[in-house]
A and B are shown apart, each in its own frame.
Chain A
Amino acid sequence: MIVADRKKIPEIRDMVCRHKRVLLVGCGTCVTVCLAGGEREVGILGSAVRMSLKLAGHTGVQLDECTIERQCEDAFIDVLAPRVKDYDAICSLGCGAGVQTLAERFPSTPVYPGLNTQFIGILESQGVWTEKCLGCGNCRLGEFAGVCPITRCAKRLLNGPCGGSRQGKCEVDADRECAWQRIYDRCVALGTLEQLDAIAAPQDWSTGIDGGPRKVVREDQCIVGLGPKA
Chain B
Amino acid sequence: MDQEPVILALCCHYCAYAAADMAGSMRLQYPSSVRILRFPCTGKIEVNYVLSAFERGIDGVMVAGCLEGGCHYLEGNLRARRRMERAKQLLDEIGIGSGRLEMFNLSSAEGPRFAEIATQMHNRIVKLGLSPLRRARSEVLSGVAVMAQASAAAIAGETK
Please give the residue numbers on chain A whose beta carbons come within 8 Å of chain B beta carbons, in ascending order.
Answer: 8-10, 40, 43-44, 47-48, 50-52, 54-56
Contacts and interface: CB of A to CB of B under 8 A. Distances in A.
Contacts, number: 38
Interface residues of chain A: helix, strand, loop or mixed (majority): helix
B48 A40 contact: yes
A52 B55 CA distance: 10
A56 B94 CA distance: 9
Nearest to A49: B94
Contact of B93 (A8, A40, A47): A8
B95 A55 contact: yes
Interface string B17-57: 00000000000000000000000000000111001101100
Interface in B87-109: 90, 93-96
Interface residues of chain B: helix, strand, loop or mixed (majority): helix
Given A8-B93, A9-B94, A50 B48 contact: no
B93 A10 contact: yes
A9 B91 CA distance: 10
Given A40-B46, A40-B48, A43-B48, A48 B93 contact: yes
Contacts of A43: 48
Contacts of A44: 47-48, 51, 90
Interface string B139-152: 00000000000000
A39 to B, nearest CB: 10
